[in-house]
Amino acid sequence: MRVKNISLLSISFCLIFLLHVGCDTPKTEDGGIKSVETRPNIVFILADDLGWNEVGFNNKNNKLTPNIDQLRDEGVSLTQFYVHAVCAPSRAAFLTGRYPFRTWADWRSEDFGKPSYLAKLGLELSKNSDGEETRRIHGLAPEERTIAEALKERGYFTSISGKWGCGEWLPGHLPMGQGFMHQYGHYAWGIDYNNYTIPHNAPARFAVYDWHRNQEPLNEQGYSTDLIANEVVHLLANHRKEHVNKPFFFYVPFNAVHGPLEEIPRYTDTHEKRYAAIKCLDDAVGRILSAIDQYGFDDNTLVVFTNDNGAIRDNMNAPYRGTKNTNYEGGVRVPCVVKWKNRIPDGSTNNELMHITDFYSTLIKLGGASLEQERKPDGIDMTSVLLEGAKSKRDEIVFEVSGSVRLPSIRKGNYKLTGDELYNIVEDPAEQKNIATDNPELVEKLKKRVTSVGNERPPMPDMSLLMTPALPWVYGQEENAHAPDWVKEAITKVRETQPKEWKKGETPWPQAPKDGKITYTGDGR
């Protein structure tokens, strides 16, 4: 009788469990695992500095991205998807669902060590207690709610593999202080792909190590684009074995194809460096997509591929005008593809207006988390737009407000105001005809609107904390305090190859934009 009761009890528990997550792991015909979660797994892939026409689905003459193009064939292409003009603001906007000016993320951490940027705020380069010229500490505040925190609260396994870009020193500014349960990659803006150093640690001119797993320095070899893909494939395989009934959120922000473009492991025999790097990025995306399928997650995984800002040359963003660090279309309109098998029609196109903050609200909603929060997001839930073909509720995007290094800019309906220039984006997407003179009332209306929104900018965060030492061995305050000998030896070797002096006025990084424009040289580092 006792044995029978235990058996009935076990069956009851199994039936209850099956209703929620499955008593026995269901299999596909080829032995893969079927997801029994109604909430999707989420893989959000973010490229870095990729141009609009550098993906094949936007440029039929471009044969560099067959895997990304295949993803587009299996999902929807968002033709009016916008980000911000540089990497850190776009990343913070995605993570928080809030315009970057609200978090002061329109200022990158490294900007507070660059005299030409500091001058825009009426600030000068600081000196720490050791008398070293150094930068003020800046990052995404721990008080901000991130998409990782929201999904983690709803039972998602959360991981970042790649470039963080939202602070590289204090623990609260790093990924595992912002809701990520697993971290891999680098914290700061643009590493050397092969030795994982930041080749310009503003304001110092020497390298710092920046490669970590779970916020500990990581010693390995390989090309960073390939290594990031390796990590995601490993996470997918491990998830199948250890956590198959737990949904996952994998954020995969590549550093490709941000400079410096040093040694590229393949394709340089037939392609110039940038194109070889793009092909390597496409390889990495293909490996991740194949692993999603191989490990049985394809049926219920929502995949996004997009980019953080425009490329460094106008021709890379054609037919759109402008580059990274400008608010012209070439700087802020980027390729974006969303795939969710059997939920989003294959090979479809969506022309509705969307912004990077909208993914925060949309993915949180799909993940079953609440959008009720103290700091109201600017993102709009676009679930019905993506899944049902509904009209977008967004008719406005605020790209920049006063107090930024770039010009205040706003898109409202069909029009975009960038500084004093006005364009009809629908009729003139290449922004060739400035119609401000013919529309003074509209210009005034949009200026009042962007000023009104800009008045919501909070006071500048406390910038009294200074990086000490000014030239650490490795990013991460706690990691640097216990930097292993292998880090010191590796960094010393790299520093020995770097210039010891620079001509007056020259720096290893581009100067701040002037009049809303910037000219990148070399690979844009």
pTM for the predicted model, two decimal places: 0.92
Give the tokens for residue 328. 């012209």
> In the prediction, which pLDDT does 15 show?
35
> In the prediction, which pLDDT does 201 show?
64
> In the prediction, which pLDDT does 7 show?
40
DSSP string, 345-414: -TTEEE-S-EEHHHHHHHHHHHTT-----SS--S----HHHHHH-PPPS--EEEEE-TTSSSPPEEEETT
DSSP string, 442-464: HHHHHHHHHHHHHTTPPPPPP--
Instruction: Give per-residue burial for 339-362: e unless 16+ CB within 10 Å, then b.
Output: bbbeebeeeeebebbbbbbbbbbb
> In the prediction, which pLDDT does 155 show?
97
> In the prediction, which pLDDT does 200 show?
65
Q: Is 28 exposed, middle or buried (0-12, 13-18, 19+ CB in 10 A)?
A: exposed
> In the prediction, which pLDDT does 525 show?
74
356 and 396 in contact (C-beta within 8 Å)?
no
For the stretch 459-462, contacts whose Cβ atoms lie closer than 8 Å and that sit 24 or more positions apart, written own/partner, are: 460/104, 460/121, 461/104, 461/138, 461/141
Q: What's 55's DSSP letter? A: S
Per-residue pLDDT of the chain (525 residues), as tens digits, is: 333 333 433 333 333 333 333 333 334 343 333 333 579 999 999 999 999 999 999 999 999 999 999 999 999 999 999 999 999 999 999 999 999 999 999 999 999 999 999 999 999 999 999 999 999 999 999 999 999 999 999 999 999 999 999 999 999 999 999 999 999 999 999 999 999 998 766 667 789 999 999 999 999 999 999 999 999 999 999 999 998 889 999 999 999 999 999 899 999 999 999 999 999 999 999 999 999 999 999 999 999 999 999 999 999 999 999 999 999 999 999 999 999 999 999 999 999 999 999 999 999 999 999 999 999 999 999 999 999 999 999 999 999 999 999 999 999 999 999 999 999 999 999 999 999 999 999 999 999 999 999 999 999 999 999 999 999 999 999 999 999 999 999 999 999 988 888 788 777 788 888 888 888 888 887
> In the prediction, which pLDDT does 230 show?
98
Question: Sign of torsion, CA 419 425 431 434?
Answer: negative
> In the prediction, which pLDDT does 2 show?
32
Task: Report the C-alpha gap between 334 and 317 in whole angstroms.
Answer: 9
**In 12-148, at which residue ranges do the beta strands (DSSP E only) sit?**
41-47, 76-78, 81-82, 126-127, 133-134
The Cβ-side half-sphere exposure at 236, using a 13 Å CA radius, reads 27
Residue type, 315: N
Smallest CA-to-CA distance from 330 within 416, 254, 453 is with 416
